[in-house]
Structure 1
């Protein structure tokens, strides 16, 4: 597992997240992906023969002020050693489909998520009814040429993402997911805005 502290996730401060219901989603196909409360991992697996998780990095670090606010935590009271940032790319049939960033309390990494490695985090969360998902926040962004080039991605007018907080006992963790251009979320519908 890499210990790099350089974030690969392009959404830390660059976009505006909107509460579910305060953003117009252009079509029902996209909406069915963005607002689905089931396991994204399981749904992606139904669209490919081979699914895998590439861990970009997992390390102790501070999250952003915005992320802490969503988690209901005072940013000035946070310490780097109390949190882990996990960034992964979910691949379907060798194509990068989703870039995900999770902000996880260190205590969960030492107990419930011990030895997570390249296993999907969603597999653990959705097989444990102690984790309660809160409503989504959504975003839509124009990907930069540099971002597309870095990941070898085709051009696309806009990319969509979502994030939500999961509560478990006294813990809160956040999972943000950016749907990359080749993801099934964009298939079979027009996404011009």
Structure 2
């Protein structure tokens, strides 16, 4: 085998490895027109301060403090499950996830990501790119049908409310 053949094989392997890595990253979803942010109008789910237990609001998209959607390969009753998180995988800022904590209602808060059902959201597609996000843990743990709800203005509080797929306050999207 010549040095050129070995070099070509190495380059081809490197290109394939890079291509696989690019396809597996969240940016691949963005290329198809999807944003990593959970949006309502021109605002996104936002952490106003970087501490655990912070009440979440709707704020600027793409700014420091904007929470991102993390898709999973899991489903419940045929609906996809997602996490909404902020921060790095490890090290400061530690990863925080939107969490129901068994609440019956009230403001949505963030807590350290633990992968539990109270941090998983069941996604209901209600048409026209709109999604309703239901707390899996509230349903499995307490039989409650609680969904994210928020207004469309900056700093509107994000709250848990009884699910109503027709309510515009409960319809989110991740399109830019």
Same-fold call, TM cutoff 0.5: no
Select the structure with the greater relative contact order (CA < 8 A; seq sep ≥ 6). 1
TM-score (norm 1): 0.30
- When Rg is computed on C-alpha atoms for both structures, the one with the higher figure is 2
